[in-house]
Chain A
């Protein structure tokens, strides 16, 4: 039997060990040889960590390290989610760095360390531990954002992310300090108790606002979103796929824990802040995306909008809202990481295709990849029988249940705007590229009756998709589809996660729970 302290951090420990192993093995390998074995090692480590996380599930709620770490089904849900995202990212990047002489060994190690930080965030119930997790994950992503060293945009991306990111974490840290001032503790359970009896509620509220600023930056919610388009544009596609999903999932988990676990008595006050942030994020994200011609920038704005949809769930009752937010995070992670995995394959290391014009006619060249990207885009729009649809569905049902009709209307109208730019990309990919139409002469088989010039069907040979990347893509597509057709399993996991996040508060501190349960009936 493992000691509780080891058990509670089992996945993090596994990942750290594998990461260190990769760092040690890297110099041993000859400089010219491929770093793929290290990538496979990282993949094995990720799977092992996920298994370790699953193993934790049977023990119910685990506490460790003087009650600063808590492994429950809430943390396991996010651990599995992060592991899955990292897995798809690693599978997609195995061949990405080939032949570009970058430090791909370190890349794999950094990915794992980043995952350690994110996982630590989701299982901490102590704000300082959250901060440590946040820093570990951020530092890894700062470096990874600039991994294509030769390119100016990559350096811009990395430095911008680093400067603004540090600034935001400072806000978060300041928030923690104020929380300590107001409640005398940085442990979430103690905070929940302290907030209920504090003599300085304004200070506590200020602390919540500071924490929201810090974490809002990490999830790229407006008005803290300005870094997103530039950073996403410059960072390598597989990294964007990861950093637009996994750290966000972790940060949302932290937000759920802090807001619903630490400050339930102030819900009416922070819910108003979240309301504003959600509306701003949805509107700015979608309107911004409308103006973009660069596909990665467009998806960056779209991720701002999706953060907005997700925040809508925070304004609902805890019981609905947490489960809805968990589900949305999972669905969003599946489709977004999938979309970026496709873009990784379509554009390659040098990003030959960037703008809408470059993607025009992609369907004829890479039919399967385009079909996959189309599927992910449809899921991002929220077309039924995809994960994105059920994500939106649960979130907006929860909001309506709590009486936030206008928020739901704004959100769904926004998804109407959003479909315009997704669709523009989709329509472009299935249209015929302009140059090609001129270049190619119609083949004799073309009948005069069709009235349209036709292409012969023979194209320049395109590189096939490497097997690992294909596996990763398949996983993401499968997850998006399963979440869209049989959401029951994931939802019940999300609900048990939500229940455990809640029961925990209730056991320790009956007052906020009484407030929460008492609030439900009066809307009926």
Chain B
């Protein structure tokens, strides 16, 4: 019982201690790899404590495993950690992906291994911190911290001479909106005197953060912009292709999606429920456009990494669409899809990394006819491809189905049109995935495979891929298990928002002034 309240700090500090130990250990032989593997496996083991002890019975989305210690008196900053259905899956996911990332870099990182693994572990701390921090300030700390190791990983271990440019581009793209986010965070603090997320969410529901609706709007935009860049959401994806092209496999696996999408769901929706609703029609449109745009660009790429980047953009746009539909099934599907998409994406990047390890190229035109040479590799590629495409019984089907049906039921203007547009993305994704597999693995033998005679998957690579394959099936067949923890959050986010409206028209005349435009139809007209 006691462990329940110490588990989240334990999860956070294990990689930190691990990073310090690795920094002291010599960079000789395979010391660093084994050390990093041990640390990440231990962290994963600790994260498994969450689903094991999670209280699935509550229908009210309360935070569990809370740790709440006073840290700094003025300003009132607390070391407040906690997990609910939204973050639990992501914490476990991060725990799972880290050892796989170590396995993926086992042989590819031969130079300055110490720097690599220390940065990798720091990156993991930052991500776990973002998912579990319930103090807005603590959260911002981890959010900013998550930038640094990633930037250095790209700058130091990037693939081509372009790596420094890609790293700086990535950093600037995400840091500048984060600076604006800080203004928003500080403004909230000055208004409310607290950084505590549950308190802020409660205040938001009571409409008592501020009477100044334009200031609230600006603050909500500051939040949304910072998160949208990190995801990235369609027009803000400038950094994505370069960063993915350059970053080493282990870093790419954790680069996109999760942090930004989680933050939108937790903070944008939690603190600015009304503003998020008002901007939803725009975001639904961007989501649908992103799906099609990503898929179309993925279709025409020759570089496998760029292909994967745009495929990822398409998949992430699905989540945006589902989240901003503000329906229960849309939100449930979005939360589910964050986890599930990350798994498929991780598998894709792992496989691409393994391919590159063998042939030293990411150019599709260099490959062809590999299926006969690498039977295991092609099996996993096809499995991953089917998962991305959204084959029933595999993980992504659940998420995409819920998202599209949720978007269909949404109340916002033009939702029907955009849902139809988004649905074409399912077909397009099948198109790009299958054509990629066809070009790489079938047809005539390409010039790289003709030159290099590479073995099929080795034990280490099997070890990295089987867990992912297993989770594909697990999430595809046993989705209700995870859904039970997600559903209360989805229901809460979808329902809690319209709730203040009757209260406004009923009793509080002052609050009515703050939200003059809460009727969806009028504001939607304004949005379009």
For B70, give the chain A residue with the smallest CB separation. A488
* Chain B residues in 8 Å Cβ range of A452: 111, 159
A449 touching B141 in the complex, CB below 8 Å, given contacts A400-B183, A413-B179? no
Which of B167, B179, B357: most chain A Cβ within 10 A? B179
Q: Is the CB of A383 within 8 A of B144?
A: yes
The yes or no answer to B75 lying at the interface (CB within 8 A) is yes
Looking at A396, A416, A423, the one whose CB has the most chain B CB atoms below 10 A away is A423
Roughly how many angstroms separate A487 CA and B137 CA in the complex, as a whole number?
14
CB of A78, distance to nearest CB on chain B (Å) = 21
Q: With an 8 A cutoff between CB atoms, is B186 at the interface?
A: yes
Q: Once the chains are docked, how many angstroms separate the CA of A431 from the CA of B158?
A: 10
| CA gap between A450 and B361 in the complex, in Å | 10
A445 at the interface (CB under 8 A from B): yes
Q: How far is the CA of A413 from the CA of B176 in the complex (A)?
A: 6
Query: Interface 1/0s, chain B 344-364, versus A by CB < 8 A?
Result: 000000000000111010000
Q: B180 at interface (Cβ–Cβ under 8 A)? A: yes
How distant is the Cα of A413 from the Cα of B148 in the complex, in angstroms?
Answer: 18
Inter-subunit contact B358/A416 (CB<8 Å): no
The digit string for A420-454, where 1 denotes a CB below 8 A from any CB of B, is: 10011011101100000000000001111111101
**Interchain CA distance A495-B115 in the complex, whole Å:** 40
A213 to chain B, nearest CB (A): 31
A384 within 8 A of B: yes
Q: Which residues of A contact B110 (CB under 8 A)?
A: 445-447, 450, 454
Contacts A413-B179, A419-B172, A488-B72; A384 near B144 (Cβ below 8 A)? yes
| B492 proximity list for chain A (CB < 8 A) | none
Task: Tell yes or no: A385 within 8 A of B by CB.
Answer: yes
Q: What are the residues of chain B within 8 A of A393 when measuring CB–CB? A: 75, 182, 186
Whether the Cβ atoms of A416 and B164 lie closer than 8 Å is no
> Which of B149-157, B281-289, B307-315, B483-491 faces chain A?
B149-157
Q: Which of B90-139 contact A (CB under 8 A)?
A: 107-112, 115
Asked if B519 is at the interface (CB within 8 A of a chain A CB), the reply is no
0/1 string, A56-82, CB within 8 A of B gives 1: 000000000000000000000000000
Complex interface: chain A residues within 8 A of B156 (CB): 363, 430-431
A382 to chain B, nearest CB (A): 8
* Chain A residue contacts of B168, Cβ below 8 A: 420, 423-424, 427
Docked Cα-Cα span, A416 to B187, in Å, equals 18
* Residue contact B175 to A419, C-beta cutoff 8 Å: yes
- For the complex, is B69 an interface residue (Cβ under 8 Å from A)? no
Q: Given A431-B164, A488-B72, answer yes or no on A451-B159 (Cβ-Cβ < 8 Å).
A: yes
> Does A46 sit within 8 A of B, measured CB to CB?
no
Q: CB-CB < 8 A to A457: which residues of B? A: 111
Residues of A within 8 A of B357 (CB): 449
Query: Given the complex, which residues of A lie within 8 Å of B141, measured CB to CB?
Result: 384-385, 389
Q: Is B73 an interface residue (CB 8 A)?
A: yes
Is B401 at the interface (CB under 8 A from chain A)?
no
| Bound-state Cα–Cα, A446 to B360, Å | 13
Q: Secondary structure at chain A's binding surface: helix, strand, loop or mixed? A: helix
Shortest CB distance A136–B (Å)? 36
Cα distance, A448 to B108, chains bound together (Å): 10
Contact with A along B161-181 (1 / 0, CB 8 A): 001100110011001100110
Contact with B along A388-414 (1 / 0, CB 8 A): 010001001100110001001100110
Q: Among A393, A405, A495, which residue has the most Cβ atoms of chain B within 10 A? A: A393
Contact partners of B109 in chain A: CB under 8 A? 450
Interface bits B36-79 vs A (CB < 8 Å: 1, else 0): 00000000000000000000000000000000000011110000
Asked whether B187 lies within 8 Å of A400 as measured between CB atoms, the reply is: yes
Residues of A within 8 A of B300 (CB): none
Closest chain B CB from A188 CB (angstroms): 28
Say yes or no: B108 contacts A450, CB within 8 Å. yes
* Complexed CA–CA distance, A385 and B140 (Å): 11
Contacting pair A449 B175 (CB below 8 A): no
* Nearest A residue (CB) for B358: A449
Minimal Cβ-Cβ distance residue in A for B154: A427
Q: Which of A400, A430, A450, A495 contacts B155, CB < 8 Å?
A: A430
Residue of A whose beta carbon sits closest to that of B156: A430
Question: Is A415 located at the chain interface by the 8 A CB criterion?
Answer: yes
User: With a CB–CB cut-off of 8 A, which chain B residues contact A378?
Assistant: 148
Total number of B residues with any Cβ neighbor in A under 8 Å = 44
Nearest Cβ on chain A to B131's Cβ, whole angstroms:
16
In the bound complex, do residue A384 and residue B145 qualify as a contact, i.e. CB atoms below 8 Å apart?
yes
- Say yes or no: A405 contacts B72, CB within 8 Å: no
A450-B110, A491-B74 known; A420+B172 contact, CB < 8 A? yes
Chain A 120-139 near chain B by CB (<8 Å), digits 1 or 0: 00000000000000000000
Residue A455 CB within 8 A of the other chain? yes
Instruction: Give the distance in Å from the alpha carbon of A378 to the alpha carbon of B141 in the complex.
Output: 13
Chain A residues near B148: list those with CB within 8 A.
378, 383
Say whether B108 contacts A449, CB under 8 Å: yes
B450 within 8 A of A: no
Q: Which of A397, A413, A424 contacts B180 (CB 8 A)?
A: A413
For B142, the chain A residues whose CB sits under 8 A away are 384
Whether B164 and A487, one on each chain, are in contact in the complex, defined by CB atoms closer than 8 angstroms, is no
* B356 and A427 contacting across the interface, CB-CB below 8 Å: no
Q: Once the chains are docked, how many angstroms separate the CA of A450 from the CA of B176? A: 33
* Bound: A385/B137 CA distance, A: 11
Shortest beta-carbon distance, B108 to chain A, in Å?
A: 6
Q: Which residue of B lies closest to A378 (CB)?
A: B148
Inter-chain contact B189/A397, CB cutoff 8 Å: yes
Highest count of chain A CB atoms <10 Å: which of B141, B176, B190, B356 = B190
Q: Across the interface, do A431 and B144 meet the contact criterion of CB distance under 8 Å?
A: no
A26 to B360, alpha carbons, bound, how many Å?
66
Q: A363 to B116: give the CA distance in the assembly, Å.
A: 13
Nearest chain A CB to B356's CB is how many angstroms away?
Answer: 7
Q: What residues of chain B lie closer than 8 Å to A449, measured between beta carbons?
A: 107-108, 356-358, 360
A454 to B112 Cα, complex, angstroms: 10
Distance A486 CA – B112 CA, assembled complex (angstroms)? 32
Q: Which of A405, A451, A487 contacts B183 (CB 8 A)?
A: A405
User: Distance in Å from the Cβ of B43 to the closest Cβ of chain A?
Assistant: 20
Contacts of B140 in A (CB 8 A): 384
> Given the complex, which residues of B lie within 8 Å of A412, measured CB to CB?
179-180, 182-183
B152 contacts A488, C-beta separation under 8 Å: no
Nearest B residue to A408 via CB reads B183
Chain A residues with Cβ below 8 Å from B145 are 383-385
Contact between chains at B190 and A401 (CB < 8 Å): yes
CB <8 Å contact, A451 and B176: no
User: Is there an interface contact between A409 and B72, defined as CB atoms closer than 8 Å?
Assistant: no
| Chain B residues, Cβ within 8 Å of A424 | 168
Q: Shortest beta-carbon distance, B100 to chain A, in Å?
A: 18
B163's nearest neighbour on chain A, judged by CB, is A431
Chain A residues, CB < 8 A from B164: 427-428, 431
Contact of A454 among B107, B111, B144, B155 (CB under 8 A): B111
Determine whether the beta carbon of A416 is less than 8 Å from that of B172.
Answer: yes
Q: List 15 A-B contacts (CB under 8 A).
A: A363-B115, A383-B147, A397-B186, A397-B190, A400-B187, A409-B183, A412-B179, A412-B180, A419-B175, A423-B171, A447-B107, A449-B107, A450-B107, A450-B108, A452-B111
4 nearest A-B residue pairs (beta carbon): A384-B141, A416-B176, A412-B179, A427-B155
Known interface pairs A378-B148, A416-B176, A448-B360; 19 further A-B residue pairs with C-beta atoms within 8 A, sorted by A's residue number: A384-B140, A384-B141, A385-B141, A389-B141, A396-B182, A400-B187, A401-B190, A405-B187, A412-B183, A419-B172, A427-B155, A431-B155, A445-B110, A449-B356, A450-B110, A451-B159, A451-B360, A454-B111, A492-B73
Which A positions have Cβ atoms within 8 angstroms of B?
363-364, 378, 383-385, 389, 393, 396-397, 400-401, 405, 408-409, 412-413, 415-416, 419-420, 423-424, 426-428, 430-431, 445-452, 454-455, 457, 486-488, 491-492, 495
